[in-house]
Amino acid sequence: MSLIETIEKQESLLVFKSFDELVALEVGRRLVDLALSENAPVVIDIRTPDRTLFHAALPGASPDNDHWARRKSNVTLRMHKASLRVGELNRSRGRGVSPEIGLDPMDYADHGGSFPIRVAGTGVVAAVTVSGLKSEEDHAMIVTVLEGLLAAN
Q: How many domains does the chain have?
A: 1
With a CB cutoff of 8 Å and minimum separation 6, the contacts of 140 are: none
With a CB cutoff of 8 Å and minimum separation 6, the contacts of 25 are: 53, 54
Q: What separation, in Å, do the N-terminal and C-terminal C-alpha atoms of the chain show?
A: 28
pLDDT digits (tens, 9 = 90+) for 90-135: 999 999 888 888 889 999 999 999 999 999 999 999 999 999 999 9
What residues make up the domain containing 89? Answer: 3-152
DSSP state of 38: T
Is the pLDDT confidence value at 153 over 90?
Answer: no
pLDDT digits (tens, 9 = 90+) for 51-92: 999 999 999 999 999 999 999 999 999 999 999 999 999 999
pLDDT computed for residue 7 by the predictor: 97
Is the pLDDT confidence value at 139 over 90?
Answer: yes
What does the pLDDT average to over 10-30? 98
Q: pLDDT-based confidence at 25, cuts 50/70/90?
A: very high
Q: How far apart are CA 40 and CA 80, in angstroms?
A: 26
Q: Is the pTM of this model over 0.85?
A: yes
Average pLDDT taken over every residue of the chain: 96
CATH code of the domain in which 113 resides: 3.30.450.150
pLDDT computed for residue 103 by the predictor: 87
Q: How far apart are CA 10 and CA 94, in angstroms?
A: 24
